[in-house]
Amino acid sequence: MNAHDTVVVGAGPVGLWTAAELALGGGRPLVLERAEQRSPHSKALAIHPRTIEVLAMRGQEQAFLDGGLPVPDGHFGMLPARLDFRELATPFPFMLAHPQLRTEELLEQHALALGVVIRRGHRVTGLSQDEQGVTLRVSGPDGAYEITADHVVGADGAGSTVRQAAGIGFPGTDSTIFGFLGDVELAEPPERPGTWHNAHGALIVAPIPGGRYRVTGYAPSTFAPTLESLRETTQRIAGTDFGMHSPVWLSRFGNATRLAAQYRKGRVFLAGDAAHMHFPAGGVGLNVGLQDAMNLGWKLAAVQRGRAEASLLDTYHQERHPVGESLVEHTKAQTALITATTEEGLSLRRFMADLLRAHPDVAAELADTLTALAVRYPGAHPLAGRRLPATREQLRLLREGRPVLLTQEATPALKDLAVSADLQLYETELPWPTAAVLMRPDGHVWAAGDTAGQLADAMTELPLA
């Protein structure tokens, strides 16, 4: 038996949540991280409603809510017509502004509390797999070594060594345009967070913890990651540089867009940026990655602990790869709108903004898509794969990371079914006219029935051991 069921490569948010899910399910995960210390810079600042729901399913949301700033709306392609999150069917109808640095700290605390082992300064250099397991070659502080596990999850970013070593293709396009980013202090900040868009480019200025501001956007002119270049670019777009000074991070990013050909190859899985990369439009990257981890973690744990058949692992690619396809499509569409600085492009932006204002239903659908509340997985029953639009209390019923039965009335037959299937049964109000539903640990319906018998029959079709 291998000392670790799963080796997770990468200790960013995706790797940490994957490992925590594995440990919660009874596994013995090991996390290998090439960096000796966590980056002091926060690439991502946005946590979307569905991701807060994911955190709430494990009772972890409060620390994020306490340390974040709720923002009641979002944007699509930086259009002036904002997307209103306040009407979303979720107990968290807002985007949470929360720095990635703090996100990683909280997720690491959660993982460590569950017994996850994290090794920093350990770089994976290659791998091989067979029917018995996966062997990783690793370079650590004390030299090179090998480690074998049942499965490996590559959560090691867009340049994923795991993906390359496993021979998984990463088709897509290279960068043709570049955006800019600077975390700076402003002597004359705007009265409120704002966006600017015109023939000179696109700009967002928003406060971040520590009394600084993030200044980010796109300009058709060449940008170098220097304070002077950031000042000049901001001045052209907004008419002022807001008295910026004392930068702590200056960077630029491209629109390279790629999607892994497969999310699973044998015993190797990909999640987060290792599976998909794109222009950071709408702040969706970290969120989709954490939702990858939520989909994969409980499945791996269930199979490794003998609670589910191995075929359950095939559903990871089947369910999440289409989400990745949607992700790269709408981020490319947003990129086109953000970088539209010609007269024709500005006209398109005005047209699209007027369209969203005139059709609130379209705006609402975009909001559901961006926040991942619209994600639905395939299934035989009309309710199968649907996300439960749950209350905060209902989300916490999934805290143990195991499937649960939810019903509006706990009949003797349903109680017997729960006992025979070793499931927790909870009485709660359901949003659908059905007797009971079997909820997956990630908050999606696994099976449903108008009677206990129908539900039992539906459960026999699931890959349960």
> Which of 154, 123, 125 lies closest to 140, judged by CA?
123
- What's residue 283's pLDDT? 82
Instruction: Report the pLDDT value the prediction gives residue 2, as an integer from 0 to 100.
Output: 62
User: In the CATH hierarchy, which top-level class contains the domain 178-254?
Assistant: alpha beta
Look at strands 424-427 and 404-407 and give their pairing.
Answer: parallel
Residue with the two structure tokens 């993030």: 214
DSSP 197-229: EETTEEEEEEEETTTEEEEEEE-SS---SSHHH
> Given this model, what pLDDT does residue 193 score?
83
pLDDT along the chain (465 residues), means of 10: 84 98 96 94 91 98 95 92 94 94 96 97 96 95 96 97 98 95 95 91 90 93 88 96 96 95 98 96 90 98 95 97 96 95 96 96 94 93 92 95 95 95 95 94 95 93 90
Torsions phi, psi of 281, nearest 5? -95, 125
Segments in 25-124 forming alpha helices (H): 49-57, 61-67, 100-113
- The ranges assigned to domains in the chain are 4-45+99-172+257-338, 178-254, 392-459
Fold of the 392-459 domain: Glutaredoxin (3.40.30)
In this prediction the pTM is 0.95
Query: What size, in residues, is the chain?
Result: 465
Q: Is CATH 3.40.190.10 the classification given to domain 4-45+99-172+257-338?
A: no
Instruction: Evaluate whether 214 touches 45 at the Cβ level (below 8 Å).
Output: yes
Q: Which of 314, 44, 325, 365 is closest to 171 using CA atoms?
A: 325
